[in-house]
Amino acid sequence: MSSSFLTLDALRVYFSVSGGWLKPARKLKAVDGVSLEIAPGEALGIVGESGCGKSTLARAILQLVDVTSGQVVWLGRPIESLSVRQMRPLRDAMQIVFQDPLASLDPRMTVGEIVAEPLRVHRTDLSREQRQTEVAQMLERVGLSRDQINRYPHEFSGGQCQRIGIARAMILKPKLLVCDEPVSALDVSIQAQIINLLEDLKRESGTSILFVSHNLAVVRRLCERVLVLYLGKTMEVAPSEQLFSAPLHPYTRGLLASVPIPDPDLQPARLEASLTGELPSPLSPPSGCVFRTRCAFAIERCAAEIPPLEEAGDRRQIACHRWQELSTKAAT
Partner 1 sequence: MGLLAPNAAVAGEARLNGRELLGADPRALRDLRGAELAMIFQDPMTSLAPHIKVGDQIAEVLVVHKRMSWRDARASALQLLEQAQVTDAARRLTQYPHELSGGMRQRVMIAIALACNPVMLIADEPTTALDVSVQAQILSLLKRLMRERGMALALITHDLGVVAGLADRVVVLYAGRVVESGSVGKLLRTPSHPYTAALLRSMPRIDAPVSEPLIAIRGQPPGPRERIAGCPFHPRCDLARANCATERPEPRHVAGSLVACHYPLAPAVNPS
Kindly tell me which of 14 and 244 has the beta carbon lying closer to partner 1: 244
What minimum distance in Å lies between the beta carbon of 101 and partner 1? 13
Q: Which residues of the chain form contacts with partner 1 (CB under 8 A)?
A: 49-50, 157, 159-160, 187-193, 195-196, 214-218, 220-221, 240-241, 244, 254-268, 270-272, 274-279
Using H for helix, E for strand and C for coil, what is the string for 54-66? HHHHHHHHCCCCC
User: Strand pairing of 310-311 and 6-17?
Assistant: unpaired
Kindly tell me which of 246 and 257 has the beta carbon lying closer to partner 1: 257
Kindly tell me which of 22 and 269 has the beta carbon lying closer to partner 1: 269
Q: Which amino acid is at 155?
A: E
Which H or E run includes 170?
helix 158-170
Kindly tell me which of 51 and 307 has the beta carbon lying closer to partner 1: 51
Distance CA 133, CA 116 (A): 10
What minimum distance in Å lies between the beta carbon of 249 and partner 1? 14
What minimum distance in Å lies between the beta carbon of 264 and partner 1? 5
Kindly tell me which of 201 and 216 has the beta carbon lying closer to partner 1: 216
What minimum distance in Å lies between the beta carbon of 197 and partner 1? 9
Does the CA dihedral 275-276-278-279 come out positive or negative? Answer: negative
> Could you please report the per-residue DSSP string of 67-110?
--EEEEEETTEE-TT--HHHHGGGGGGEEEE-S-TTTTS-TTS-
What minimum distance in Å lies between the beta carbon of 116 and partner 1? 25
Q: Which amino acid is at 141?
A: R
